[in-house]
Chains A and B, each alone.
Chain A
Amino acid sequence: MFKIILLLLLFLYLPAQDKYELGSGVQVASLPIYIGGYISVDYRNKHNENRYRIDDLAILSYGNYKKFSYMAELEYRDLYTKTYTNNNSHITRDKKLHIERLYTDYSYNEHYYLRVGKYNSPIGFWNLLPVNVLQATTSDPVVTHIIFPEFTTGINIVYSNIQNSEIKIDVMLQNNKDFDDDYNNYKIDKHYAVGLTYEKDNYAFKINVGHFSQINNTAFKNLNYALISAKYDTNKYQITGELGYQSSQTKTTKPYASYIQGLYRITPKHHVVIRTEAYKDNVINIKDNIAIFGYTYRPLYPLALKAEYQLHSLHKEDNLLFSFSVMF
């Protein structure tokens, strides 16, 4: 951890061409290499339990040279957690440095590019912004954790066509174990998926389907999923929705998991969010409907203070969250 901080400080002192702005990273000297990072801390109150946490502490580096570019991101997750229950407290620390992303891109031409390595599965909209400071709320919709693998380690072939509208096709291929399978919501060694995205003006639609194979789960080893997503985004407000389905060969594991979220920008610095979610998980026999009310204050865009209250049909799950996050 300290070695990384020292390395970061060293890079910060090298003269850069670009002037530094918060949220834009630091250029390493005059090289086409940039370094950044982010941190988030949160507090949660839930059914007699108070939890304080340093959630994310990450450093990332990226750059491009001609048709090639790369991304490397390392992260501590749940670095420090202190939980108070009744009169007892409990501390946990996870000092393992995870590989969150590590990939190379090759731009073949204006329509095709190829990505190799570990990357965010380009499924839906929420999964493409996996960082607290860029999201509308502290919590993530349940659908983003239970339907598909959040990360894929393999190849992503992308075709895009930009005319009056934009069409993009993603093909994800994985036939190997993950880089750092602890840092994924599913431990997988196979993932084959296709995604289609259509964007025009303020609208965007996405359809994703795929199949993945779990390493450590014999009961539901092979799973298929489908997800549809839609977004409408203007200067003042944004409406986003995703609906997913998952099944094994013998059983419907998740008949549905979905959310609809509305975000209203009262001013550029003050946003309010309302989200409703619903899901059913036949694997663990749980069903829940959730209403979430959130407020975000961004004194600068890459810095976010958030408050959120979740109202669950499973009453013991009601919780209040606060978070602070910043991107460098």
Chain B
Amino acid sequence: MKKIILFLTLSSFIFLNTSADEYVIISNSSLQHLTKQQIKAIYLKKTTLIDDITLVPINLGYDNILREKFNKEILHMSTEQLKEYWTQQHLMGTRPPISMKSQESIKAFIKNVDGSIGYINRNNIDKNVSILYSWNDTAVYTEPYKYIAVQQEPYKPIAPTKYEYIYEPGNGYKIGSLPIYVGAHFSMDYTHKDGNNEYKINELAFFSYGKFGKIAYMAELGYNNVYVSNSQTFTEDKTLHIERLYVDYAYNDEYNFQLGKYNSPIGFWNLLTVDVLKETTSDPVSTSIIFPQYTTGLDVSYASYKNNNLKLDVMLQHNNDFDSDFNNYKVDKHYALGISYNENEYSVKVNGGYFNDLYYAQVGAKYETDKYEILGEIGHQTSKDTTTTPYAGYVQGSYKLTPQHVATLRAESYKNNLTSTDDTIAIAGYTYRPYHNIALKSEYQLHSKQKENQLLFSLSAIF
């Protein structure tokens, strides 16, 4: 029994001694001990003298594992912080410590250069050097970077029942066991333009959709510009608008009929009807002047999903709009055709149509990856007698710095002969999405017409 206890004790002692590497800071000087703060000051060249000894600190290379441990334990700085610090110190006339390739090089340098200090593994130490400070791997995981091991129960998935639905923000709420979902979205924004400030509750909308067999529906009612306040006026619009109201019938895998009021499937931007889904607060001018944003009538679509994705849309309207106040054009006729082609990251769209004695054509293209998106559209509009809008187009690039942070640049240009206006616009925007269904955006627009320059902020969300 005693032998067993002795064996276990010795084993645990060996285990304890070999379970964590130990590191030392050494010098050939007469210094015996330094505090961590003093070592940090020496390595950051805040001091080069201690007890009248000129100290020469030595580092390992940035990519050396022991260097990383040293930076964490002693300097409390990351590699990026150190590179930033030494660039600043270069301006101040201070050089970083010399870097050596290996611990053997450090030992050789310390042996030959008075006042030099460096760091190595304890088990690599030679005689005739003084140990100024030591630490081990467990210390790296305690102060100030605490590492806590958590025991967790193995995950047991619960099979969803027929009546069980778990709400996720941005995905709508299911009504009981019915195939009916409800959701909402809102947006508010602030604009600063030509010395004036405008605050607006822009959108507040409720929608419901569902699917039963081959039939699906969408109904969306909303308030637009509910509240607008600037230095001169204050307006409220409490009219509840019909934004979308349609029924879909999926004839088969390829053919679909949509009847009612819907977003005209023209270009890419017009299909993102909600502020929270867009990369900027403002919309490109081309999306509001070339074609009607909404169509009330029939949309017949054909889609093929083989190696690529080809879609044809035929839009037919020969009646007044549902709620013509909620459209950029009041139309009672709209006939249009669209072709979309999508392969991997690329999408291309061509649209042409007729409404209100006006003809239009638009081309759009998109390239989208996990990290960035490039999007562009250009349109042309004409009547029988005159070219109303010779061109209106934009090119936009969005870059996902991280999944939550997106930077956007957009260039727009248009000419409108009806209002005798032309403008070229550069837009720089930034979007922060703490969650996928919430967006905080900022945007600056630089116009060739300088009075139109403006700064915008917005907050939007979808539930």
Residues of chain A at the chain B interface (Cβ within 8 Å): 23-25, 34, 36, 38, 45, 48, 60, 62-64, 66-67, 69-71, 107, 109-110, 128-129, 131, 133-134, 160, 162-166, 201, 235, 265-268, 270, 272, 293, 295, 301-302, 307, 309, 311, 315-316, 318, 320, 327
Contact = CB atoms under 8 A, between A and B. Distances in A.
Interface in B37-89: 37-38, 41, 46-52, 54, 76-78, 80-81, 83-84, 86-88
Interface string B411-446: 000000000000000001010000000000010101
A163 B37 contact: yes
28 contacts: A23-B86, A23-B90, A24-B87, A24-B95, A38-B91, A45-B446, A45-B453, A60-B93, A128-B92, A129-B88, A131-B91, A162-B37, A162-B41, A164-B37, A166-B37, A235-B78, A267-B401, A267-B402, A270-B401, A270-B407, A295-B407, A295-B430, A301-B84, A302-B87, A307-B428, A316-B195, A320-B444, A327-B91
Contacts of B92: 71, 128
A235 B38 contact: no
Contacts of A309: 444, 455
Contacts of B455: 309, 311
B152 interface: no
Nearest to B55: A110
Nearest to A101: B93
Given A134-B91, A266-B401, A315 B195 contact: yes
Contact of A301 (B54, B87, B96): B87
Given A45-B446, A272-B430, A69 B93 contact: yes
Nearest to B78: A235
A293 B442 contact: yes
B37 A109 contact: no
Interface string B440-463: 001010100010010100000000
A206 B341 CA distance: 63
A25 B90 CA distance: 7
B405 interface: yes
Contacts of A34: 90, 93, 95
Interface string B190-218: 00100100000000000000000000000
A134 B41 CA distance: 21
Contacts of B38: 162-163
A117 to B, nearest CB: 12
A64 B41 CA distance: 18
A163 B35 CA distance: 7
Given A163-B37, A301-B87, A268 B80 contact: yes
A166 B90 contact: no
Contacts, number: 103
Nearest to A27: B95
B76 A201 contact: yes
B90 A107 contact: no
B381 to A, nearest CB: 31
A155 to B, nearest CB: 18
Nearest to B87: A23
A160 B442 contact: no
Contacts of B50: 110
A285 B342 CA distance: 62
Given A62-B93, A311-B455, A327-B90, A107 B48 contact: yes
A64 B35 CA distance: 26
B80 A235 contact: yes
A301 B46 contact: no
Contacts of B407: 270, 295
Contacts of B444: 309, 320
Contacts of B52: 109-110
Given A162-B41, A201-B76, A293-B442, A24 B46 contact: no
Contact of B47 (A36, A69, A162, A327): A162
B109 to A, nearest CB: 13
Contacts of A128: 92
